[in-house]
Amino acid sequence: MNKIWLIVKREFLNRVQKKSFLIATILIPLIFPGIMAILVYVAKKQNENAVKEIIHYVDQSNTFIPDTNRFIFKKFDGPLIDAKKAYDESKDFGLLYIPAYELSKPVGITLYTKANASIDDINTIESLLENRIKDLKMKKLNIGQKLLDSLQTNVSIKTIQVTEGGKEKSSNSIVMAGIGLVCGILMYMFIFIYGAQIMQGVIEEKSSKVIEVIISSVRPFQLMMGKIIGLGSVGLLQFSIWIILMTTLTFGVFGYFGIESPQHQAMQQMSAEVAAQQTAANAEAMSLINEFLNLPLFYILFCFLFYFIGGYFLYGALFAAVGSAVDSPTETQQFMFPITIPLLISYLSLFMFILKAHDSPASVWLSIIPFTSPIAMMGRIAFGVPLWQVLLSMSLLIGGFILTTWVAGRIYRVGILMHGTKVSYKVLAKWFMMKN
């Protein structure tokens, strides 16, 4: 035990002291919000800096188009042929021809341009025209804006889950699916990233030949477990830091902007009805947050940690076995396949049906089978899973990781000493059967 602890400590310190760990741990939680912020900023800047383009238009039906921050519309009085000639001589963006049309059926509107017009530009012009025609129609039908606003209604359904005891529990499947999605993706990423690191570490020890010295001091099983536990704790540390950083950042940002949000100020200038709508939307957001806080968060966190560790151990041992069987990372392909398949199945099912139909037989089975349960169960957990299913799934996961660790350990102890052998599944089976 003492020696496993030494190995755990060594593996842990090795990774944590690396610069790459520090950089990844601090930067990754900043990268996604950072990229978003940059994109928003660039898009905004582009809009502001864009030079306004001039569009000539020939209007034979008195439509009249107002300028926008992208286009300036210049009305040309005269026939289309003269307009074309004038446009040809200018360096302007385009020429819009609006023939006489019926309001119900505006056809024949044409845009002439020199360069290819972008879809965005066409959409802008189309919606400008649509709005104008809508206004004209409203005027014709004598409909005011007030009447129009009062026609619009926003409906959102509140769902209430009736539990067996007859208690009513308000539930919001968006929040639950969100939790399931985030937990499932994290699980998938964690198993792959850290599993690959275990494999990498084993291959390194094998190819640098340090392995023989080490296993003359410790048992191969101790070395394997030490590595798995050591890297796992690095992962847990990294994820904890990410979660803490992201939560602090999010709350920090909301806390700062929340009070003096631009919406808030704008609201005061809006008409009472729109303001009421806005409040309704805000109330909905508040209720989402309340839903979230009403969920058994500690229970979900506990389950997450359990499946996180269980799944990592189950797959970690297999990754170690693959690493021990090969001489270089390029040879891992054929053995990675069976490891990847159950992970991929549970990941894809998460999107395809688990989050949509969390109680369907397929979802239930995937969340009970140990190879798929870490991801599948996290997809379902927020919706409320019967206790017997959780307990069954957890005990099977424990059994599963004991089994894979045992199998992997038997392959590992032989594999790490083998150099230059061509390894197939048959060879692995032989190693597995080999006496100690």
Partner 1 sequence: MEALTAIHVTKRYTNHVALDDVSLNIPEKTIFGLLGPNGAGKTTLIRIINQIINADSGEILLFGEKLQEKHIGKIGYLPEERGLYKKLKVGEQLIYLAQLKGLSRKEATDKSKAWIRKFEIVDWWGKKVEDLSKGMAQKVQFISTVMHEPRLIILDEPFSGFDPVNAQLITKEILALKEKGCTIIFSTHRMETVEDLCDHIAMINKSKKVLEGSKRQVKETYKTNSYVVEHRGSFSIASEAYELVRQKNLDDNMFQSTLVMKGTFSPNQIIRDLTMLTEVHSFVEMVPTMSEIFINLVKGGSDE
Closest CB 237 distance from partner 1, rounded Å: 20
**167 versus 209: smaller Cβ distance to partner 1:** 209
CB atoms within 10 A of CB 398: 15
Q: Is 209 in the site for partner 1 (CB under 8 A)?
A: yes
Which range of residues in 183-191, 291-299, 312-320, 428-436 is near partner 1 by CB under 8 A?
Answer: 428-436
What part of residues 172-201 is at the interface with partner 1 (CB under 8 A)? none
* Closest by Cα among 379, 400, 372, 377 to 389: 377
In angstroms, the CA 208 to CA 309 distance is 29
**262 versus 420: smaller Cβ distance to partner 1:** 420
Cβ 299 vs Cβ 387: under 8 Å: no
Instruction: At 208, give phi and psi (nearest 5°).
Output: -85, 0
Cβ 355 vs Cβ 181: under 8 Å: yes
**49 versus 436: smaller Cβ distance to partner 1:** 436
Which range of residues in 36-44, 164-172, 209-217, 399-407 is near partner 1 by CB under 8 A?
Answer: 209-217
**201 versus 235: smaller Cβ distance to partner 1:** 201
Q: Is 204 in the site for partner 1 (CB under 8 A)?
A: yes
**123 versus 217: smaller Cβ distance to partner 1:** 217
In angstroms, the CA 295 to CA 48 distance is 44
What part of residues 9-28 is at the interface with partner 1 (CB under 8 A)? 10, 14
Instruction: Say how many Å lie between the first and final Cα of the chain, rounded.
Output: 20
Closest CB 28 distance from partner 1, rounded Å: 22
Contact residue for partner 1 among 46, 69, 153, 216 (CB under 8 A)? 216
Strand bridging mode 53-59 / 71-75: parallel
* Closest by Cα among 321, 365, 358 to 225: 321
**139 versus 430: smaller Cβ distance to partner 1:** 430
Contact residue for partner 1 among 215, 236, 336, 403 (CB under 8 A)? 215
Cβ 261 vs Cβ 282: under 8 Å: no
Closest CB 188 distance from partner 1, rounded Å: 28
**358 versus 413: smaller Cβ distance to partner 1:** 413
Contact residue for partner 1 among 417, 424, 425, 429 (CB under 8 A)? 417
Q: What is the DSSP string of 336-377?
A: HHHHHHHHHHHHHHIIIIITT-TTSHHHHHHTTSTTTHHHHH
What part of residues 217-256 is at the interface with partner 1 (CB under 8 A)? 217-218
In angstroms, the CA 299 to CA 245 distance is 22
* Closest by Cα among 400, 234, 410, 399 to 320: 410
Angle of helix 173-207 relative to helix 297-325, nearest 10 degrees, comes to: 30
Torsion from C-alpha of 281, 285, 290, 293, nearest 10 degrees: 180
**137 versus 430: smaller Cβ distance to partner 1:** 430
Between 360 and 399, how does the x/- string for binding to partner 1 read (CB under 8 A)?
Answer: ----------------------------------------
Contact residue for partner 1 among 126, 130, 135, 212 (CB under 8 A)? 212
Q: What is the DSSP string of 270-296?
A: S-HHHHHHHHHHHHHHHHHHHHHHHS-
**91 versus 435: smaller Cβ distance to partner 1:** 435
Q: Is 435 in the site for partner 1 (CB under 8 A)?
A: yes
Residues that bind partner 1 (CB under 8 A): 3, 6-7, 10, 14, 204-205, 208-218, 417, 419, 430, 434-436
